[in-house]
Amino acid sequence: MAVEIKRQSPISFPGNPLKTELRGHWTVMQEYEAKGDAPRVIDLSHRIRWDLQDSDIARHRPGGVSIPDTPGRCVFENGVLINRMNRTQASIWHLSGEDLSIPDDPAFTDVTDATVFLALLGKEIFSITEKLTTLDFFDPLKEAPFLLQGPFSHVPCQMVILGNTPEKSAILFTCSRGYAQDMIAAVLEAGAEFELHPAGENAFSDWVNK
Amino acid sequence: MFGRVKPLWGEKSSLKSNYDAVIIGGGLHGLAAAYFLARDHNMRNVAVLEKRFIGFGGSGRNTAIVRANQRTQENVPLYKEALALWPVLTKDLDYNLMFFNCGNLNLMHSEAAMNAARMNVATAQFHGVESHLIDAKQCKELVPALNILADITYPIFGAMYHPPGGILRHDAIVWGLAKGAAEHGVHVHQQTEVTGIGVENGKIVSVETDKGQIKTPRVLNAAGGYSAALSYQMLGIKLPISVLTIQAMVTQPLKPLLNHVVSSGAYHAYANQTLKGEIATGAHMDSWPNYTTQTTAYYIKHQAEALAEMLPCLRGVKFMRHWGGLADMTPDMAPIMDGNDSIEGYFMDCGWGYFGFKSCAASGKYMAQFMASGNCPNMLKPFSLRRFEQHRLMGETAAVVNYTPDN
Amino acid sequence: MALTLTCPVCGKRNGYEFRYGGEEKGPRPDEAGITPRSWCEYVHMNQCVAGIQKEWWCHKDGCGVWFTTHRDTTCNLEVDKPEAQS
Amino acid sequence: MKRLEKLSTLRINPAKTLHFKYKNKNLKGLSGDTVATALYASGIRIFGRSLKYHRPRGLYSLDGESSNTCMQVNGIPNVCAETTLLADGMEVKAQNVAGSPETDLKGFMDKLDWAMPAGFYYRTLHKPARIWPIALKQVRKAAGLGKISAEFQMPGKYDEIYPKADVCVIGGGPAGMSAALAAAENGLRVILLETRPWLGGFFDYRTAQNGAGLSLSQSVRQAAEQLEQNSNVRIFTQTPVVGVYNNNLVTAFQKGCETDYFDERYLEIRATSVVVATGCSERPLLFENNERPGVMQIGCAHRLAQTYGLLPGKQAVFSIGHDLGLEAALDLFDLGLEVLCVADIREDGQDPALIEGLQQRNIPFLRGWVATRAHGNKTLHKVTLATIPGTLRKDFSCDLLVASAGMTPLTGPLSLAQAKLAFEPYTGFFIPRQLPAKIQVAGRLLGLNHPATIEASGRLAGTLAAGDCGVSVESRLKEAREKLNQLPGPDQGSKLVTAPVQGRKTFICFDEDTTVKNVKQALAKGFDATELIKRFTAAGTGPGQGGIPGHNLPLFVAQYHGDIKATAMPTTVRAPLVPTYIATYAGSNHDMCKRTPVHDSQKAAGGVIRRIGVWKRARYFSKDFSCRAEIENVRKNVGLLDASTLGKFRLWGPDALNALQRVYASDMSRITNGKVKYSAMCNDDACIIDDGVVVKRAENDYYFTTSTARAGATVEWIRYHTRYDGWNFHMVNLTDAFGVINMAGPNARKVLAKVTDADVSDDAFPYAAYREFMIKDTIPVRSMRLGFVGELSFELHVPSSYMQALWDLLTEAGKEFGIRHFGLEAQNVLRMEKAHLIIGSESEQRTTLHDVGLGFLWSRDKSEEKTVGAVALRQTENQEARLKLVGFKMEDPSRVPKDGSIIVDNRIRGYVCIARHSFALQEPVGLALVDAPLAGEGTRLQIYEDECNGQHLYATVVPTPFYDPEGKRIRM
């Protein structure tokens, strides 16, 4: 029996997707059944993520994008989201589909497999997140997109608030891959009140394009 | 019908200018040492100085659990003796300390934990202290409210069952010891704060207080949470102590439900039912030093989460009162009982952390012996301060390391 | 949950996101000729200040940085201007 | 009981009847009723019996100030009937009664109070000693209020939220509402918390005019509607605050209504500023039988009528000390209550309009009079009034006594927030003298009483709170202050502590049956501080959270000491301010645990999963917990172990080597390319805390592993120990990024060769080497030749997303070589046979690197590097009398000693860390930590197992490793 070589996401949602795509050994869930404007959770774990650390971090321009100058700030350009974490570190999340190879520079580490990567979309997502964290997603001093590093459902996460207005509510977050299953269970349970449901990658692309 | 009632710990006396011994701290350890000094060593000219009122600190804030199933042979005999002293003290003090000999179950949540517990059990049995390893089913028989299903965070594999343990009424011990000490002539001075300790030629000579100076050749530092700060500020002696806030809480009173003390390291919780019917539960310490006895929302929630899994019927019971006290923690979870080392006449009985309550009778007895004779009794020798510079931590905690960088 | 700390990177956060790292005692002493007592002093002994102390914290659940802060141990609150108050 | 209808203030819905059960009877209440008001409407007057004396207790207040109405509802004990909304189908039972509340068989206890002075149990019940165990049983039985069974399952859904707020307002009465509105007008995020199901506080039920043509009730309801429309204000009703902590953390819980997703929801609010506008309850009047059913507080009587449509009695006497009492008397008179007399503690200071109202209605009014005794066996039938000095007395036959000494500010949240309260003689209140940062106070708890003043003080507090949040509020502040200054200030409070009484049954605390006499007994015994009296008499420690004695006890004690002003100190208040279910605090309680990438497939393969630290791991793969098949297969064929939980790190940068030198005992400069280096980390007591391997992947670029337990703390540890150095190096925790397979056994190479083109021969990839290659041209692996289990083995580190694929590939490729899984216990035995250490199993907190025989790892020549632990390693190097790790074999090979058995002679000399039957050696072997003098080879060890009854086992210290001592098999 030949074993098919696949890359696996650490989570599997309940229910079957309507549409999937095989992409570089990943089976990407593209669409699930739509459920009105109820909030959605999307698995983006297959999206490439890099860690960048350098005492002179400003010299880097991954994907042609400059690193944000202060910790907590994010930029989203050319399908690349760069989150400044501290004086010497940034995380780089590739939100568009291109196949990317990591720059030949020791400052970069591919950490795609280190974390689970999730998106939450929809106007009630902040009613869900307030059940799971004390982090303030509405800090008046912060303008979206911004990064919060802190606990979410007790697990340290990197959370990027892409939008926090009723019309435009979206969060991306990562946490240690090992926690994936319990994290998604906690998120779905917290979201049950609002009919949070899984959605495919396309829903996220649509959101980004809007 | 009462006529003239005598105050329990004697009429208020004014501070004398000379005492043979001054004990700093009107908690269980200080009062016990005073009591035994006066009773067994004929040293009656003793003052106990208490900044607030007796039993204000850890003595009145602990949940009064006693047991003798410690981990090491240096500790077991001390706690064994302490356990045996409760009925004796009840009689000698003529004060009902309300010892409820209900036995303790220390739950284990893995195969490895069961094996680790076996070492404690064997150590106890070797010292003639009753203690057994029991399985989950036996746990359930003893404590029907326990959840022994496998689908909880930390399933119960069994327990270390220690029948001689139990609970007492902590205030009764404070008041009983104060009464006993006073009856033997000890002066208990409340609302008296120590402001300095006089040392001349390497010897203790006096104690300064906000009510005046006392000449004395002996001082016992039994100031509980404040012992380390006091030692450093007044004598320049630093101690390997971190002062942490430990918290506990009680539920509304219930008719008898728990007939044993139940504790769990993994859940970081213990629970027992007081004679008033309240479920007393606690164990958490925030890991950073602070001198507040404030409680935290984090902990009462954590405790509820733990109890909801361990003892699920308690989900329908309400928490009623949550408080905090100070614990003077040492790196090896064992106390410092020492004296006459760098300063003659300076004695320490501190660093008790979790264990100050259960030990007080025995430590008081031996510290009194130490102070009266000037020689450290064998029982106390392992608890010297110097063990830390010799890299000989006591092994009272098996944990490989507290995962804190300062350790 | 009561304590809050101000992470130099992430700002004011819940205290439980942090790990306490001990009293500030300065860099590691030189090893040559150090006595057991002075080594122990560095490793284990504390001043246990009831008041403002300088201490180390790590934002373990956040950005991971180690930093010092001044905190009043008698009220468990960070102190803004420790020099002015101490 | 017939309800008063058509009152505009009603909060019940007469059209919606609810059914419930009490004493096996089907009773009815209305939607909007609490359990207590529904019972009252059904004619119930005795709700339960008191703790100690089994005295009948009834409806005294409506906000849960005492345990009088604690009942069992739907099997849940100690439910406060006053604050629990009635629901259809409820089953309600009285507590602490033998029989029924009306005919309690233990009612005789009330006559035995003479035998139970304060603290009586301390002085009795232990003489002779043998009676104590018997007495103890009785004490336990008598104690406690509610009952719960061990099998009880709490129904319902419990939830939690952690909202942020700029301003959190505690109390949704007129002051709190004004404060919330004022803060919201500044564009701030405001949270308003109210205990009752509606906003409005003590205006809600009052028909008194507000001066603008509306009743207080009408005006406050209009204001509530307005506030509900404000999108900046988030209103939580039925949400009592339970805690206030440092830095303005407020906790509360919300009781769900029918449409809510939850039964109760825990709230933890971090606010920048907090406004406390909790208002007042009433200070109980102390007189003989002051808790007899039929005696109730002003608000209770007033609200029963106005809110619930229940006339509280037929003939009433009022003994009050506050204008609200006068107002209630008038109002209730107009609703049909016969008011026989109103006695006011105060000689003067009443609102003249209220006095006039009494005159108009011909209600007798006695100034300077007070109730001194309630008569009636179970419920009230007569009241004695007297002048304050007690010189004149009058009796009245009645069924209702509305009694109250004055008001009590609800300062609980302030006390919890560490505000300093002090006695203020004019109001008689404990009032905040010093507020913590960013806490504001408004309304009635400051002694204010005039409606406009209360609202204005709320406005000021809300504006101050906005200022706390950094909003510029100067002009508004000035305006608010000016407005407040123009309005009437605080009312003078009544000072009376006790009525002139003789008897023994004047209760200062209802919950604990503590009488004034008990308090005097405690004082006489030397318990002269309020806190000591609380401990000695238990006053204030019951379910009412000190709601009854909280104000009176310190006043009484201060009066005893002769100087109220100087000595009155408020009692300590503790969270939760309202008793709160453990279910509610527990909330959703998510269990967060890590799983490896092959967790599910291992489980499917029969893995018995255990939680180990933060991970779930497979411990066994069969029901045979000796794991014989797993173990023998590794020794004979090849096995696969999921070792993904190992800590894995990249460390690089110009100072990378410095960082490694600092934390590892060995000289890390001697790492060579393509080789793994095994070393250990110690703490500064030389105790071993971690071991693992380090490889150098490029110049200044290292990859290293740690034990599972240390993975989470390693980055922190290294940064901590280099924090003064300013070194330039970086770390990434790759623990979760890589899965790890340990493929071990003589056939391991054959399996590996099948899936890779890389040369994995012993020449190309020898023991202790490190290689990177591709599996099936697709999966990149980092591989190490290690020998933890003592066989030829390849540790394969693979990107986690590929882990399952690699696992399946190897399983498939290995079929012909007899491959199978093995779990942690099998590994445990295999490595023990090699005497390889697991930290925490063969070491404890005090075990040094020397003690476990790994002292050779320490490089003594790098003192410049200031290696963590090096100083202590030097100091302990030749130290005697330490526990040393040794291997042993049993004299009687038929018996394996249990782990944790101790090694003894006349004292304890060590303990067995692990012992197992070795299938390879066909005899038991083990590792023990023993006193150094016993560590020599050939020493006989005496093993003491638990429950051994003096039957010792004997073992002999032998050299290790037990298995393949030359290490040939790992180098195959």
DSSP D132-191: HHHHHHHHHHHS-SB---TT----S-EEEE--EEEEEEE--SHHHHHHHHHHHTTT--EE
* CA separation for the pair B54, B180 (Å, rounded): 14
Give the mean model confidence (pLDDT) for residues B284-302.
Answer: 93
Say yes or no for a CB contact (<8 Å) between C45 and B243.
no
Give the number of beta-carbon pairs within 8 Å between C and D: 56
Residues of C with Cβ-Cβ distance to D866 under 8 angstroms: 28, 30-31
pLDDT of residue D480: 96
Q: Do B400 and D114 touch (CB under 8 A)?
A: no
- pLDDT of residue B351 exceeding 80, the answer is yes
Structure tokens at C65: 């940085």
Q: Do B243 and C48 touch (CB under 8 A)?
A: yes
CA-nearest of D3, D70, D69 to D32 is D3
Q: Where does the pLDDT of residue B2 fall: very low under 50, low under 70, confident under 90, or very high at 90 and above?
A: very low
> In the prediction, which pLDDT does D125 show?
87
Residue D311: per-residue pLDDT: 97
D384 and D309 fall within a common domain:
yes
Residues of B in contact with C58 (CB under 8 A): 405
Residue range D166-171: average pLDDT? 98
Contact between chains at C10 and A148 (C-beta distance less than 8 A): yes
B21-62+171-240+333-387 sits in which CATH class? Answer: alpha beta
Kindly indicate the confidence band of residue B399, based on its pLDDT and cuts at 50, 70 and 90.
low
% pLDDT > 70, chain D: 100
* CA distances in angstroms from D381 to D317, D396, D507, listed in the order given: 11, 8, 19
In chain B, residues with a C-beta closer than 8 Å to the C-beta of D574 are 295, 321-323
Task: Report the C-alpha gap between D970 and D715 in whole angstroms.
Answer: 31
- Scanning every residue of chain B, which has its alpha carbon at the shortest distance from the alpha carbon of C38? B389
* Whether D749 contacts D769, CB under 8 Å: no
Residue B247 CB-half CA count within 13 A? 25
What is the pLDDT, as a whole number, of residue B396? 85
Residue A169, token pair as written in the block = 């509510």
Query: Which of C1, C21, C30 lies nearest to residue D245, judging by beta carbons?
Result: C1
Is 90 exceeded by the pLDDT of residue D469?
Answer: yes
AA identity, residue B218: R
Q: Helix (H, G, I), strand (E, B), or coil: what is residue D192? A: strand
Going by C-beta distance under 8 Å and a sequence separation of 6 or more, which residues neighbour residue D699?
Answer: none
pLDDT recorded at residue B398:
66
Confidence tier at B118 by pLDDT (50, 70, 90): very high
Considering only CB atoms, which chain A residues are within 8 Å of C1?
Answer: 134
Burial annotation D777-791 (CB, 10 A radius, 16+ → b, else e): eebebbbbbbbbbbb
CA distance, residue D724 to nearest chain C CA (Å): 6
Say yes or no for a CB contact (<8 Å) between C58 and B405: yes
Chains A and C in direct contact, meaning 3 or more beta-carbon pairs closer than 8 angstroms: yes
User: C13, C19, C28: which to substitute to probe chain D, counting the most D Cβ within 10 Å?
Assistant: C28
Q: What is the DSSP letter of C44?
A: T
Contacts of C45 in chain D (CB under 8 A): none
Q: How far is CA C54 from CA B293, D136, D926, in A?
A: 21, 51, 48
| pLDDT of B405 strictly over 80 | no
pLDDT digits (tens, 9 = 90+) for C36-67: 999 999 999 999 999 999 999 999 999 999 99
The H-assigned helical ranges of D392-473 are 412-416, 451-468
For residue D740, give the nearest of D809, D675, D803 by alpha carbon: D803
The alpha-carbon gap from C10 to the nearest alpha carbon of chain D, in Å, equals 17
Tell how far CA D225 is from the center of its chain: 35
Integer Cα distance of B81 and B377 in angstroms: 14
Which of residues D379 and D124 earns the better pLDDT score? D379
pLDDT at position D111: 87
Please compute the mean of the pLDDT values over residues B48-60 and round it to a whole number.
95
Question: Higher pLDDT residue, B395 or B22?
Answer: B22
Segment D97-110 mean pLDDT: 88
Touching D (3+ Cβ pairs <8 A), the chains are A, B, C
The answer to whether residue D582 neighbours chain B at the CB level (below 8 Å) is: yes
Q: Does C75 touch chain B (CB under 8 A)?
A: yes
Same domain, D199 and D270: yes
Which residues from chain B sit within 8 angstroms of residue C56, using beta carbons? 405-406
Task: Tell me, yes or no, whether D268 lies in a domain.
Answer: yes
- Give C-chain residues touching B240 at CB under 8 angstroms: 40, 44-46
Whether residue D800 is predicted with pLDDT greater than 50 in this model: the reply is yes
Total CB pairs under 8 A between chain B and D:
295
Answer whether residue B406 shows pLDDT above 70: no
Gap from A149 CA to chain C (nearest CA, Å): 5
Residue C39 sits at the chain B interface (C-beta within 8 Å): yes
Pairing of strands D13-22, D90-93: parallel
Asked if C48 lies within 8 A of B388 by C-beta distance, the reply is no
Parts of chain B belonging to CATH 3.50.50.60: 21-62+171-240+333-387
- Scan residues 68-127 of A and list those with Cβ closer than 8 Å to D: 88-89, 106-107, 109, 111-115
Q: Do the chains B and C touch each other, judged by at least 3 C-beta pairs below 8 angstroms?
A: yes
Give backbone dihedrals phi and psi of D888, rounded to 5 degrees, phi first.
Answer: -145, 155
Closest by Cβ to C60, choosing from D268, D684, D716: D716
pLDDT over threshold 90, residue D765? yes
Q: Rounded mean pLDDT of D954-961? A: 98
B95-112 per-position pLDDT tens digit: 999 999 999 999 999 999
Across A190-199, C57-66, D103-112, D293-302, least confident range: D103-112
Whole-number pLDDT of residue D710: 93
Distance CA D755, CA B6 (A): 90
Start and end residues for every CATH 3.30.9.10 domain found in chain B: 104-163+242-329
Beta carbons of A130 and D737 less than 8 Å apart: no
Structure tokens, B67: 């047991």
State whether residue A180 sits within 8 Å of chain D by CB. yes
Condensed to tens digits (0 to 9), the pLDDT of residues B267-280 reads 999 999 999 999 99
Mean pLDDT for all residues in chain B: 94
Tell whether D467 and D546 lie within a shared domain.
no
Contact yes or no for D730 and A54 at CB 8 A: yes
Decide if B391 and D685 are in contact by the 8 Å CB cutoff: yes
Residues of chain D positioned with their CB less than 8 A from the CB of B287: none
Confirm or reject contact between C64 and chain A (CB < 8 A). yes
Task: Please answer yes or no on whether D592 and A10 come within 8 Å at the CB atom.
Answer: no
CB contact under 8 A, D911 and B119: yes
- Asked, for residue D307, whether it belongs to a domain, the answer is yes
All residues of chain C having their beta carbon less than 8 Å from the beta carbon of residue D725 are 27
pLDDT at C85: 39
Q: What CATH number labels B104-163+242-329?
A: 3.30.9.10
CA distance A87 to chain D (A): 12
Q: Considering only CB atoms, which chain B residues are within 8 Å of C2?
A: 294, 296-298
pLDDT tens, residue by residue, D573-630: 999 999 999 999 999 999 999 999 999 999 999 999 999 999 999 999 999 999 999 9
What integer pLDDT is reported at residue A45 of this predicted model?
Answer: 97
Kind and range of the H or E element at D925?
strand D923-931
pLDDT for A99: 65
Q: What is the structure's pLDDT at D704?
A: 98
User: D771 — contact with chain B (CB < 8 Å)?
Assistant: no
Work out the minimum CA distance from C63 to partner chain B, whole angstroms.
17
CA–CA separation, D97 and D80 (whole Å): 16
> Are the beta carbons of B252 and D147 separated by less than 8 Å?
no
How many Å apart are CA A206 and CA D274, to the nearest integer? Answer: 42
Q: Is residue D891 part of a domain?
A: yes
Give the count of beta carbons closer than 10 Å to the beta carbon of residue D269: 25
* D801:A193 CB<8 A: no
| Assigned CATH topology for domain C4-26+35-78 | Folate-binding fold (3.30.2270)
What percent of chain D is modeled with pLDDT above 90?
90
One pLDDT digit (tens) per residue for chain A, 210 residues: 678 999 999 999 988 999 999 998 999 999 999 888 899 999 999 999 999 999 999 999 998 899 999 999 999 998 999 999 999 999 999 998 666 789 999 999 999 999 999 999 999 999 999 999 999 999 988 999 999 999 999 999 999 999 999 889 999 999 999 999 999 999 999 999 999 999 999 999 999 887
Domain annotation covers residue D50: yes
* Interface with chain C: mutation pick from A87, A149, A159, highest number of C CBs within 10 Å: A149
What residues 5-64 of chain A have any CB closer than 8 A to a CB of chain D?
Answer: 5-10, 25-26, 45-46, 51, 53-55
Q: In this predicted model, what pLDDT tens digit does every residue of D857-906 receive, in sequence order?
A: 999 999 899 999 999 999 999 998 899 999 999 999 999 999 999 999 99
Beta-carbon separation of D418 and C75 below 8 A? yes
* Of A85, A86, A156, Cβ closest to residue C61: A156
Find the domain containing D822 and state its range.
594-644+737-760+782-831
Mean residue pLDDT across chain D: 95
pLDDT value of position B403: 34
CA D86/CA D73 separation, integer angstroms: 10
A1-210 is classed in which CATH architecture?
Answer: 2-Layer Sandwich (3.30)
How close is the nearest chain C Cα to the Cα of A120, in Å?
Answer: 20
Contacts of D189 in chain A (CB under 8 A): 138
Between chain A and chain D, the number of residue pairs with CB atoms below 8 A apart is 132
D447, pLDDT greater than 80: yes
Q: How far is C28 from chain D (nearest CA, A)?
A: 7
- Domain-embedded: residue D8: no
What is this model's ipTM?
Answer: 0.96
pLDDT digits over B9-48, tens only? 988 889 999 999 999 999 999 999 999 999 999 999 999 9
